[in-house]
């Protein structure tokens, strides 16, 4: 994904976005008239209490959901206007997702887990293997490529998850509580890795977290509450 920016200079632009879910005959308003801009190569943290809309906003930026109103533009493309098929193709090309619980396939070893996103591409088997080796080297797990998730520590499993997220070389990495299931030492190692991906590899990272220790690693922190941005904190 090239760093195509919107007319205002942002890689990601969320404009007047509202999100409403219908539950039990009623409406739940999760996001209200929300605006956010994220420059290319920024490391941004989204903080807020449970139910504030952090993960919903992340899902909208990643094309996993659509806004009820408003627009979401990434790399100059209005992703909220794409069809379901176009959106799936866009996600596969442009976004790497990192989850709290790793979401690894237990029957596949580390390198096979990392290879999964590449199966949606036209790369040859040899090309896929090279991409996988590179991604595992970046996260420091080359020697664990043949190991299965059950034989890896939590921190190592998350590293596999990060390798899977970066194997297609996306510009945008979306992280939902990436250290939430780890102890402090393992969590710090994951945050070190995310900072390196941002600073050394130029990845734009948006990270949802409830942990101030984690958000302190980001260049900027935005706070959400009741579906609205309250404040921004720069480093």
The CATH number of residue 191's host domain is: 3.40.50.300
Quote the domain boundaries for residue 229: 41-64+93-234
Query: Does a structural domain hold residue 158?
Result: yes
Q: Are 99 and 88 spatial neighbours (Cβ–Cβ below 8 Å)?
A: no
Number of domains in the chain: 1
Query: Does a structural domain hold residue 86?
Result: no
Query: Does a structural domain hold residue 2?
Result: no
Alpha helix stretches (DSSP H) within 10-124: 54-61, 84-94, 110-115
Query: Does a structural domain hold residue 173?
Result: yes
Per-residue tens of pLDDT for the chain, all 235 residues: 345 554 457 899 999 999 998 887 788 889 999 999 999 999 999 998 888 899 999 999 999 999 999 999 999 999 999 999 999 989 988 999 999 888 999 999 999 999 999 998 889 999 999 999 999 999 999 999 999 999 999 999 999 999 999 999 998 999 999 998 899 999 999 999 999 999 999 999 999 998 999 999 999 999 998 888 886 666 5
In this prediction the pTM is 0.91
Cα separation, 115 vs 163, whole angstroms: 9
Query: Does a structural domain hold residue 109?
Result: yes
Query: Does a structural domain hold residue 229?
Result: yes
Query: Does a structural domain hold residue 80?
Result: no
Alpha helix stretches (DSSP H) within the chain: 54-61, 84-94, 110-115, 125-138, 154-166, 184-201, 212-215
Q: What is residue 179's three-state secondary structure?
A: coil
Query: Does a structural domain hold residue 227?
Result: yes
């Amino acid at each position: 994904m090239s760093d195509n920016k919107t007319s205002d200079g942002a890689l990601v632009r969320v404009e007047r976005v509202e999100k409403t879910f219908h539950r039990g005959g009623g409406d739940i308003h999760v996001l209200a008239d929300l605006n956010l801009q994220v420059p290319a190569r920024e490391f941004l943290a989204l903080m807020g209490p449970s139910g504030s809309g952090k993960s919903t906003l992340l899902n909208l930026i990643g094309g996993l959901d659509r806004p009820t109103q408003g627009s979401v533009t990434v790399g100059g493309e209005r992703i909220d206007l794409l069809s379901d098929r176009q959106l799936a193709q866009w996600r596969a090309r442009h976004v790497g997702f990192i989850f709290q619980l790793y979401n690894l396939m237990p029957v596949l070893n580390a390198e096979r887990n990392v290879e999964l996103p590449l199966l949606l591409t036209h790369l040859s088997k040899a090309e896929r293997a090279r991409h996988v080796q590179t991604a595992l080297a970046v996260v420091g797990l080359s020697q664990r490529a043949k190991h299965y998730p059950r034989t890896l520590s939590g921190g190592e499993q998350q590293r596999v998850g990060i390798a899977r997220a970066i194997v297609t070389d996306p510009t945008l990495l979306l992280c939902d509580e990436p250290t939430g299931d780890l102890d402090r030492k393992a969590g710090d190692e994951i945050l070190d890795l995310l900072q390196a991906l941002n600073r050394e590899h130029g990845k734009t990272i948006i990270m949802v977290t409830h942990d101030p220790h984690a958000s302190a690693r980001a260049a900027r922190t935005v706070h959400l509450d009741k579906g609205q941005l309250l404040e921004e904190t720069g480093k």
